[in-house]
Amino acid sequence: MIDSLIHEFDKALRTIFTTAPTHRPMPGENVAEAEMSDAERKHAGALMRINHCGEICAQALYQGQALTSRDPVIKKALEQAAWEETEHLNWTERRIEELGGHKSILNPIFYTGSLAIGVIAGKFGDKWNLGFLAETERQVEGHLERHMAELPEQDRRSREVLEQMKLDEIKHADMATHHGAAALPTPIKQAMKLSSKVMTTAAYYV
């Protein structure tokens, strides 16, 4: 018990404070940096900060869900998806740096909240756990699309990162559906949208 607590706490600290690893190269790595005004760079950096914060939340959600899921097949699928989220974390962090921005100071708070939500979702059993995951991924997909429309037109480096992330998130939602995700009740979906609105609005500024 103590061992696993220490392990999870260590994971949390590494997620929030160190640079995440990646196997895949950063999408758009070979695309030339675009000419942008200061305002455009700042805006792109803020959008990438939101995406980075979202990935921090994804780490915590998956961590919470894997902690409480009992089915070894589902646990394995969660771990694979979590690894891809780790790569997203790496890419968004690097893009923030390239744009001269900074990570959100709210990351520890959002991490803690998401971990709690993941554990609670997991407690409801695998079908609801996966339902929650599928809905999260679908909302993230919609959100990434909005960001791609909002990024400065010429910022192809950021766009390539978001494109690949979107493909991965679609795959994660499909994975959850494939393993038997239940459709969530509408009020839960709306509550999730509302909480992500709070996160995205706050992380844009700080």
Answer for the pair 60, 133: CB distance below 8 angstroms, yes or no.
no
Number of Cβ within 10 Å of residue 12's Cβ equals 18
Closest CB to Fe ion among residues 93, 169: 169
Q: Which stretch binds Fe ion (CB under 5 A): 29-37, 38-46, 55-63, 93-101?
A: 55-63
Q: Quick one: which H or E segment has residue 17?
A: helix 2-17
Cα gap 170→143, rounded to integer Å? 12
Closest contact distance (angstroms) between CB of 171 and Fe ion is 8
Residue 17 vs 83, nearer CB to Fe ion: 83
Q: Which helix (H) or strand (E) holds 42?
A: helix 38-68
Question: Which stretch, 7-15, 30-38, 119-127, 161-169, contacts Fe ion (CB under 5 A)?
Answer: 161-169
Tokens of 203: 């992380």
What track of x and - describes contact with Fe ion for positions 84 through 113 (by CB under 5 A)?
-x--x-------------------------
- How far is residue 75's CA from residue 77's CA, in Å, rounded to a whole number? 6
Smallest gap from Cβ 74 to Fe ion, in A, equals: 15
Least distance CB 122 / Fe ion (angstroms): 16
Binding site residues, Fe ion, CB under 5 A: 58, 85, 88, 137, 169, 172
